Every structure is written in structure tokens, then in C-alpha cells.
Structure 1
Amino acid sequence: MKIHKYLLFAFIFSLLHFCSKKTEITDFTENTEQAKYSASYERGLVNDGEILDVNFDPTLIGAFSTQTEKKLDLDSIGYFFNEFKEFAPYKNEIRQFYKNRSSAYAWFDKDGLSEQADHLAVRLMNLEKDGIKIDLPYHKRFHSMMDNEIAKEDEEKVELMLTSQYIAYSKRTFEGKADELAKSADWLKAAGKYDAVEMMSSAVQNGGKIFTDEPTHRHFTSLKEKILDFHNKGLDTVTYQFPAGTYKMGDSSAVISKIRERLFLLGDLKTNEPSGEFDKEMLSAVHHFQYRHSLDSSGVIGKSFLESLNVPGRDRLERMLVNLERMRWISPEDDEYLMVNIPAYKLFAYNSQDYLWDMDVIVGTSNRRTVAFSDKMSYIDFSPYWNIPPGILKRKIIPAMNRSSSYLARNGMEKVGKLTRDIPLIRQKPGPKNPLGKAKFMFPNTYNIYLHDTNEKYLFKSKNKAQSSGCVRVANPLKLAKFVLKDNKDITDSIIVEKMNEGKENRIVLAKKMPVYLTYYTTWVDHNGNLMFSNDIYKRDRKLKAMLMKNIVEPVVKTPENNEKARSGKI
């Protein structure tokens, strides 16, 4: 994971700096070097005319939840500091922070931890791996809190721990720097918001540069190019809604003619011949649109097709910018790496930024979400044991053991110790009933997330592949094992197959560690240059938009009045 300086929030605060002087947004982009300097000054990175090399991630600054319903009991702050005394120097700042927010939680929304809370936790828990030498208090307690499911009664403590860690990080980042510099980087102020369309107009005038300093990895650059093309074609201003209907091969309609025009602009239809016919060329375009939007490849224009086609252009633009922001958080720049795109249900392999292959994966449910982070795979356990998690032990295994003394033996399980005085440590033996299948691919991390085979292969045929407890199940473990072990010259393909089917756990350490990136991109560009969209399975896009942007497009509410407007072409 590489930290990029002077990115989105630097851009935003520079924009605010100029707007306070009643300078138009277009003025901001006329001088890139001046903009970079101004952005740095706003964030406390300039001293005596020089831009300071302060090692921190600007995407963390001011990235607070926008919810206002969930409130903190300010009296609980005192109890928190009684338990975590090393944070006591920040007590007054934290009290003032929550007073300014009218006591609203900064890291939770109505569904639990916000996406930015996960981002903060991942960054702070990986400081050492990123080469940042900042020692934060209660590091292990923080890990423990974030690793486990957060009970309702613990939310207040986790909220205050996140804020305290965030403030401690901000203070120690500027340790040894002048006081005025530390103060000028206003970490306790919510970041300013930008207007998506104005931002794109500014980028066009700035030679296509959206941000002051930009990553160079293929995922960022390819999506940025698509965003600029989308804006230049005027697609971000499209609001026309196609009326409900069903159209298939051989049909003819004036509506089909308009749909052809839209598909041509979107790049799905190759030629723009004025026609109301649903011909072979139109069928190919419909299939292509359905592929790009993760729809069933029926070749029929129906409800789901039109709902995707009717998404307002500005909403599409905002969604693309949200994902461009995410592409700063985890930035792959390795010679070879694996990338899981969680909402796309895909694992991709890359070599020097070039696509090699992909396979389907099963990811966490909405209640047991797969976390976005990165690490390096170091070994594979073939024919693995499965150490049954405490939650499953309590819910399922222990009650079954109480009902039948032979339950463990019948299900290939064994007791190997104790987790606590009352809870036994139970593992499942290698074999056909083991949910880890024939291999697990380990990159040890604080979240206890890894890739593994599965004994439930039928799930890969399901449209909804968010069905795991957080780990990532892979469709083809043999292919993955061959790829990551290719530098182990003594390990042949036949040895891998033998180990997978041996029925006895054995470990092979990778000769060369393999970087693994778990990402959450609902919009990206595939290896053929197609702009792809997937379902927002964890409902994160709109929340991140609300934090980053103003003048957000709200979805059209389906009412009889709006349906009539759609039919008449008024919306």
C-alpha cells in the first residue's frame, strides 16, 4: 500500500481556500503548481515557502459520517478516559469535537461502522507495514475491537476509540513540526464537499487532471479516462427516462430508436444508424450493456435493463468519482498481485499491471462483510483443518453436542482444547465436510480474513455470491495454487494436486510472497476497456457520496406522477 500525498482532500481544501476569496472554480485549475502549493499550505504542509514532506494519508482528514441521528452521551467521554488514560491529553479536544457535531457519532451510521471508519482502521493498523514510524496508544486493544463483531453496547466505546486514535495519529504525524503547522492541518473539521459536474468542468480546463497529484496504477488511470470521456460526451447531464416496456429481437418501435441512440453514446452500439428495429446489431449492444451492468444476459430490454439505462447521468458520474476516491486508498504498484473486487465477486491476477486471468469468488454477507485492505500471501495450507469460530460454536456446535454425544464424530470434528473455561476449542478435520475445502491461502492479518476453497461449490452458480462469513471462497483453488507457487521450483503441478487430496494438513511456504488487495469497486474498467458497474452489495456508495459531494442526485421516486412524466419524456 503506497501513500499518495496531496490527493482529494488537498484538492478540496485548496478549492475552499480560493472560494473564500470569491474565486471561480475554473481559476483554481489555471496554474497547477500554484494549486499544489495552495493545497499544501491549507493542510499545513508549507513552511518558509517549501512544501514539507509530511508522511501521512490526506484521504483520512475530515472524513466523518454525515449522519445526525446517532448521538453520543457526552458523560461517557469521562468514563472512556478513566479506562484509556493515555488518551487523556486529548480529552478537551474530543469533547469540543462532539459538541461541534451536536454529539453525533463520527464513525457510525444507521447500519453500523462507516466505510471511512474501516479505511481509518486499516490505515492505522498497517502503519508499520507502510513504513510509518508512529506508535499509537492501545494498539492491540484497537485491533481487538475492530477484529470482532461490535455489540450494540460497545458502539460508544469503539466510536471514542476511533476518534482518539485518529487524533493521536494527527498529533504524532506533525510531532516536531512548528505548532502553527500542526494547527493549520484542521483534522477536527469535516472536509469540504465538491460539486461533481463543476469538478469535471475544471478538470477539462486543466488538461484532464482531476486532482493535484494522481496515482499511476491502471485501475485509477483507466477509470479516470472513462470519467473524462463520459463528461465530454455530455452524458453526465442526461436525465431523460425511457418509459416502461419490453422489447426483443424483431420488434420495431420509436422507443427502440431512442434506446439505440443512448447505447451508441454509451459505447455499447458500434454504429448510430437511425432505426427503430431491434436487429442483430441491437441485440449485440443489449448483451454488451447487460454485461457491463452485471445484469442477466437475456438479450431482452425489460425492467432491469431500463432501470439501469434510466439512472441519471449525474448519478453515474458521482458513482464513478466515489470509486476513483476508493482507488486512492489501496494502490497496487507491484510487479505481480492478486485483487479481489468484493461487489463484482471476482478475483483478478495481474502482472506488471497487465490482466492475466480472473475467477469467481464468494464474499461476506451484508452482516459479515469482507473488509477492504491489503497484505501479502505467505503460505498455503493444503487439506486444512478448520478451527470453528466462537460464534458458530455457541450458536450451533455446543447445542448440537448437548443433544448428541456422537455429534463431533459424525461430522468429522474433534475437541483439541479450550477457548475459555466454558467454551471448548473444536476443529473440523480435513475432508469433504470441511468448509475450507482442499486449500486455504494465508496472508496473516488482524481481520482473520483469507482466501480458501469451499465444499459448497453450488454457491458459485448463484447470482448472489455474498454468502460467506467474511473470508473469500475461490472457484478454482488449483489454478490459484499453481499461480502463487510458480516460484517454488521444487513444487510441481502434480505435487500440488497430491497435497490437495492427501487428507492430511500440510503447509507450503511461498518462495515469493504474493500481494493481495481486497477492494470495493462498484465501478471499474475491465481488461477490455469496458466501463463496468456492479451492485453496491454493502450499500456504501451513497454514504460516501454524501460525505464527499454536494448537490447529490437523488434517485427518482417511483410514483404514478413520475411514471406519467417518464412516459411523456419530461424526466
Structure 2
Amino acid sequence: MDIGKRRWQWPLTILAGLVAIAAHASGAPEQSLVQRIEALQAGYAVQVLGDAILARQTLQRFYENRGYRLAWAQESRREALADAIERLPRDGLNPADYHGELLQELARRPEATLSDDLIADRDLLFTDAFLLAASHLADGKVNPESIHAEWTLTGRRTDIVPLLTRALDNGSLAQTLQDLRPRNADYLKLVQAREHLSRLLGQPWLPIPDGPSIRPGDTDTRLPVIRRRLIALEDLSANASASSELYDGELEAALPDFQARHGLEPDGIIGRQTLDALNLMPVERIRQIDASLERWRWLPDSLGDTYVLVNIAGFRLQMVRNGKEVLHSRVIVGRPFRQTPVFSDRIRYLVFNPTWTVPRKLMIEDQLPEIQRDPDYLERLGIEVFEGWGADRRKVDPGSVDWDTLSKNRFPYQLVQGPGPKNALGRVKFMFPNRYDVYLHDTPSRYLFGRQERTFSSGCIRVERPFDLAEQLLANDMDWDRQRINDLLATGETTTVVLPIPIPIHIQYWTAWVDEQGHLQFRDDIYHRDGPLINELRHSALADRQLPTPVAVSPTTIAAGRIHKTH
């Protein structure tokens, strides 16, 4: 790169009298630095060597705190940051978003070859790079509300300025950036998996063609390619035969593990879905990992000493106590048109033998059509009908209601299902009151847990092992054990049990993670949320710069033409 040429690539003048910043073509670097910061304060966008300065307010505060002195005069500091920025792909971040190319070019450039203006420019670049990278590592690059409209969780929101000041003072720039990453072991395992998977980038990855399903004992010309693909992904031993066209026992032992890692039925049959998973390119897998890493950065530093974690896309619940998993369970989540929201809260109480008051939307959209089709529907499921609400409501004989005349605009009833084996909530529900009316609960439809993709609910989360979860949540209360829970269930009476200490619950959405055995897992993007997030992660704010055409010419050129007014 020719810095001399790039430095002057955006000649621009500004309107006379808009800002009171004196022209200064040469002079001490710190004077040049002050000029650029004054331009930022005046609302002008500053570009350095073609790259926009983006951490505008934080950068101003940093230099104000240090009396507008240069921060990056020492080559060792610049080298440390430039090298740390080059390592950001490990975390799914692009060095180009943090002036990576310019930092490498300027880090070791001899001071004698630079003008005062360029020394000031260099300082701004390095400060901007650190502030941006640190903010994105600590709190995420993408605003989660742009992907999850219902997002309510507040992340870490780290104040970067004092961190940069300390890092410059004690020479810990690289370590400071590293320490800003989430410290959760799941995040660090994903970072390692990404780095390991990156070895496949650039390797030939030709699509395996469609064809008849391949079963154990079959021969097929596609099998050598499938074998090599499984070896590359380390699902098949590197010592395995890579040329055989026979589906032998070696392959039969490896393929179900590959299928399970991708959320497929581990039946050992190579059909359309298995081929799709085999054809998933390394870069696509890495982008899934990048989306999951970003979602981890949105979360607080600590999820709690004891907490429940639900992965919607993984159809999985786990409970963690003091850093160790004490329970895991399959779950059923919301259908694509009734998605389970992403949020965090605290489980505050449990209800055994619950009743179910059907939400109005479900009464109209789900229950009413069933009642109209089947006159015995309500009696068969033990659902009672009430007219009105609250203390004034009265029980109504379902046979006296003309259901065919009802609609969403005329439905003056409540439907309430009593406790029992047919209750839609099962025998226990776990409550954390929230604006989405979402909670965890048991279910009588237990056969659905055998499905690989489990999007069957109306937004709430059905738990396969609800009584194990209840036992774990009540473990700190000496008055409760599994026998007492069973005795309470046997009474059939609706009973509320308040937890002495509410337990945090985090309902999240990851399509890539590393499991307890160290296996990298992938799942389908059931709610189509990865695509927008990946696009935002790949998008660079530095590519957005659009230089306006000047509408008038000032006799004074500011900072050698690198300042233009922000629109």
C-alpha cells in the first residue's frame, strides 16, 4: 500500500464559517491531533487515510482524559495492538473492521518517515481500533434488538476508556482485549472449534450429488467422496479407507455420530438431509459458529452460580450448579409462526397439578376450530367453559353455546382445563412471570420428544424431565425431596411452591455449540435468525463511507482534506 497516495485520496473542502478550526498544514503532532478531535466535537466525520473514525464519542473522552497527548508513540504498543487485531478472526471478527491493514502498515513505520499530521492520524487510528475491538469483544458487534425484536437482556456494557488507559500504562494491550471476551467455557470451546475448523478453508469441497439413499451393505460411486468428507470433518478415522465404494461396518459406525452432530436421525442411512449436511461448506459452518459467538457476547459475564439454560435451536435444556451440569433434558419449543422468545428471567415458583387457562389467542385460533369440528372435544379433555372474567365469571354448559356463531370478534368465554393427566401443562409448570407469557412445563404428549426437530408448542417450553428439574430447583430446601414431590402429585390438588431463592433462567438461540464430550454440534436455523445476524457481522461500517460533493468552496482546507460534514 502506498500510504502517501492513500493519505490524499479524499480531497474535500467544507463550507466557509461552519467551523472555527484553524488551518494547520504542519506543526507538532499533538496540535494536529487536537485539530482532528475538535472536528469530531463539531460534528464532522473524520477519515484517516481513507478509513472513517467510528468510536467518535469514546475516542474524544479518551483523549480528553489524557490531556490530548499522543498515546501510540511507542512502537511496542503499536505492534502489540496490530498483532492482537490480526488474531480477531478467532472470535469471528474481521480485522478489516478495525483498520487492520493500516495498523500493520503503520505499526513499524519509522517515525522519521512520517509528517506531524500523519503521526496524529496514526494515533487516532490505533485508538479507534482498540476502542472498537474492545467494545465488540465485550458487548458484541451487532445490536441484538435488530435480530431479536423481543430482546430485553442488558449485557455487560463495559467502559473501555479506563481499560485502554491502564493497558497503555502497563503494556497489557493484547491481554486486555483477550480478557474482554466472554469467560464462559462454552464460548472458549467454540473459539477453539472455529480455529480447528478453519484448517479446511480453501480445501476442495465439491458437492456430493443427489441420488438414491445409501444403506449399510450398498455400493455407490459417491462413497469415496463421502468417506473423504467424513475424514476431513474427523467423524471418520484418518486411517480409514478413503477409496472404497462399499458401505462397510467402519462407515456404519461413524455415520450416526455425524448425523447426531447435525441434529439428524442417527439411522446410518445416507439420504437427502445427510447429504445436505455433508455438503455444508466449511465457511458456512464457520459463519454459524460466528453467529453463536456473537450471541454469547450479548450475555452478561455471569449467568449465575446456579441457572437453567435453554437452547431453542438445540431443543435442549440444561441446569448448571457451580459450573457443573447437574441436569439436561430435551425440550419442545415454539412453532416457526409462534416462536419462543429469547430473554432471561428468574424462576420464582412451581405449580404442581396446574390448571390451564387457555390464552385468548389460542382459544380463538386453536381451540375454537377443534370445538366446532368435534362437539365432544371439551368434555374429552376436561375443559370447562366460563362466561366473563375474574370473580364475576360463571360456569357455562358447553352444550348451551352455539360455537358456530363465535369468532375472534365475538368470544365472551374463558376455557379452563383442570388438573389431570390430560392437562396441556402436564403435572407441573415452572413460572417466571414475563411479558411474553412464556414458561416451562410438563406435557402429556410425550411421544413428541422422540422427534429430532421439536417445534410443536405455542411459544412455551415443554420439558421431557420436568420432575428431575423440579427436584433440582428445590434441592436447597431440606423440606423437599423426590418422594414429597411424588406425594404432592398424587393428591391431584393444585399447589404452588415458591422457591426460597429465585433461579436465573436464560432462553437463548444457538445453532452451533460444543457439547460436554467436546463434539462440535450444528442445528438448523429453525427461526431463520442466523442469516440476518451473519450479514450484520460480515458488514463493515468502514465500507459505508460516502463522501458528499461540496456545495461551496472554503478558502480554508481543514486537516488536509480528510474531514467532511456528517449528514
In structure 2, the CA distance between the partners of 1:61 and 1:293, relative to structure 1 (3 Å rule), is closer
One-letter amino acid matched to 1:412 = I
Question: Partners of 2:240 and 2:223 in 1: how far apart?
Answer: 12
In structure 2, the CA distance between the partners of 1:399 and 1:339, relative to structure 1 (3 Å rule), is closer
Which of 527, 530, 536 is the equivalent residue of 1:541?
A: 530
1:118 partner SS? coil
Aligned-residue offset at 1:531:
0.5
One-letter amino acid matched to 2:197 = F
TM-score, structure 2 normalization: 0.62
Aligned-residue offset at 1:347:
1.2
In structure 2, the CA distance between the partners of 1:324 and 1:399, relative to structure 1 (3 Å rule), is closer
**What CA deviation, in whole Å up to 9, does each residue of 1:192-234 have, x standing for no partner?**
xxxxxxxxxxxxxx99999782111122111111000111x22
One-letter amino acid matched to 1:497 = N
In structure 2, the CA distance between the partners of 1:34 and 1:271, relative to structure 1 (3 Å rule), is farther
1:418 matched to which residue of 2? 389
Aligned-residue offset at 1:256:
2.5
Question: Partners of 1:282 and 1:210 in 2: how far apart?
Answer: 44
Q: Is 1:115–2:104 an aligned residue pair?
A: no
1:318 matched to which residue of 2? 287
1:302 matched to which residue of 2? 271
In structure 2, the CA distance between the partners of 1:27 and 1:15, relative to structure 1 (3 Å rule), is farther
Which of 315, 327, 331 is the equivalent residue of 1:357?
A: 327
Q: Is 1:262–2:229 an aligned residue pair?
A: yes
8 Å CA contact 1:440, 1:453 repeated in 2: yes
8 Å CA contact 2:92, 2:293 repeated in 1: no
Aligned-residue offset at 1:357:
3.3
Question: Partners of 1:226 and 1:313 in 2: how far apart?
Answer: 12
8 Å CA contact 1:347, 1:359 repeated in 2: yes
Question: Partners of 1:26 and 1:313 in 2: how far apart?
Answer: 33
In structure 2, the CA distance between the partners of 1:256 and 1:27, relative to structure 1 (3 Å rule), is farther
Which of 208, 218, 229 is the equivalent residue of 1:242?
A: 208
8 Å CA contact 1:330, 1:373 repeated in 2: no
1:361 partner SS? strand
Question: Partners of 1:509 and 1:256 in 2: how far apart?
Answer: 57
- Size of the aligned set, in residue pairs, is 406
8 Å CA contact 1:249, 1:279 repeated in 2: yes
Question: Partners of 2:95 and 2:328 in 1: how far apart?
Answer: 40
8 Å CA contact 1:14, 1:38 repeated in 2: no
Which of 279, 288, 293 is the equivalent residue of 2:257?
A: 288
TM-score, structure 1 normalization: 0.61
2:332 partner SS? strand
1:379 matched to which residue of 2? 349
**What CA deviation, in whole Å up to 9, does each residue of 1:51-92 have, x standing for no partner?**
xxx9x98437667xxxxxxxxxxxxxxxxxxxxxxxxxxxxx
Question: Partners of 1:396 and 1:545 in 2: how far apart?
Answer: 35
| Bigger Cα Rg | 2
RMSD in angstroms over aligned alpha carbons?
4.3
One-letter amino acid matched to 2:299 = I
**What CA deviation, in whole Å up to 9, does each residue of 1:169-205 have, x standing for no partner?**
xxxx99xx9xxxxxxxxxxxxxxxxxxxxxxxxxxxx
1:213 matched to which residue of 2? 180
Which of 140, 149, 153 is the equivalent residue of 1:59?
A: 140
1:200 matched to which residue of 2? none
8 Å CA contact 1:236, 1:312 repeated in 2: no
Aligned-residue offset at 1:542:
1.4
2:317 partner SS? strand
In structure 2, the CA distance between the partners of 1:468 and 1:397, relative to structure 1 (3 Å rule), is closer
8 Å CA contact 1:339, 1:519 repeated in 2: yes
2:482 matched to which residue of 1? 493
In structure 2, the CA distance between the partners of 1:41 and 1:480, relative to structure 1 (3 Å rule), is closer
The structure showing larger relative contact order (alpha-carbon pairs under 8 Å, at least 6 residues apart) is: 2
In structure 2, the CA distance between the partners of 1:269 and 1:409, relative to structure 1 (3 Å rule), is closer
2:192 partner SS? helix
One-letter amino acid matched to 1:418 = W
Question: Partners of 1:234 and 1:389 in 2: how far apart?
Answer: 50
**What CA deviation, in whole Å up to 9, does each residue of 1:500-534 have, x standing for no partner?**
23222111112332221111111111111110111
Aligned-residue offset at 1:254:
5.8
Aligned-residue offset at 1:262:
2.2
Question: Partners of 2:259 and 2:538 in 1: how far apart?
Answer: 29
8 Å CA contact 1:415, 1:424 repeated in 2: yes
In structure 2, the CA distance between the partners of 1:272 and 1:470, relative to structure 1 (3 Å rule), is same
1:431 partner SS? coil
Question: Partners of 2:239 and 2:386 in 1: how far apart?
Answer: 68
In structure 2, the CA distance between the partners of 1:211 and 1:240, relative to structure 1 (3 Å rule), is farther
> Structure 1: which 5+ runs fail to align?
46-53, 64-106, 108-113, 133-172, 178-205, 552-571
Aligned-residue offset at 1:26:
12
**What CA deviation, in whole Å up to 9, does each residue of 1:479-517 have, x standing for no partner?**
111111111111121110122232221111123322211
1:379 partner SS? strand
Question: Partners of 2:371 and 2:130 in 1: how far apart?
Answer: 62
2:504 matched to which residue of 1? 515
One-letter amino acid matched to 2:268 = G
8 Å CA contact 1:13, 1:42 repeated in 2: no
8 Å CA contact 2:139, 2:297 repeated in 1: no
1:38 matched to which residue of 2? 128
In structure 2, the CA distance between the partners of 1:396 and 1:542, relative to structure 1 (3 Å rule), is closer
In structure 2, the CA distance between the partners of 1:525 and 1:400, relative to structure 1 (3 Å rule), is closer
Question: Partners of 1:284 and 1:405 in 2: how far apart?
Answer: 51
In structure 2, the CA distance between the partners of 1:495 and 1:215, relative to structure 1 (3 Å rule), is same
Identical residues among aligned pairs (%): 30
2:386 partner SS? strand
Aligned-residue offset at 1:427:
2.6
Question: Partners of 1:247 and 1:540 in 2: how far apart?
Answer: 32
Question: Partners of 1:396 and 1:543 in 2: how far apart?
Answer: 31
8 Å CA contact 2:139, 2:156 repeated in 1: no
2:26 matched to which residue of 1? none
**What CA deviation, in whole Å up to 9, does each residue of 1:340-378 have, x standing for no partner?**
111121112223333333221110011110011112212
**Correspondences of 1:140-159 after superposition (within 5 Å):** none
8 Å CA contact 1:383, 1:505 repeated in 2: yes
In structure 2, the CA distance between the partners of 1:280 and 1:357, relative to structure 1 (3 Å rule), is farther
Aligned-residue offset at 1:437:
1.0
Which of 367, 377, 394 is the equivalent residue of 2:337?
A: 367
1:516 partner SS? strand
One-letter amino acid matched to 1:363 = V
Aligned-residue offset at 1:384:
0.8
2:264 partner SS? coil
1:341 matched to which residue of 2? 311
One-letter amino acid matched to 1:319 = Q
Moved more, 248-257 or 383-392: 248-257
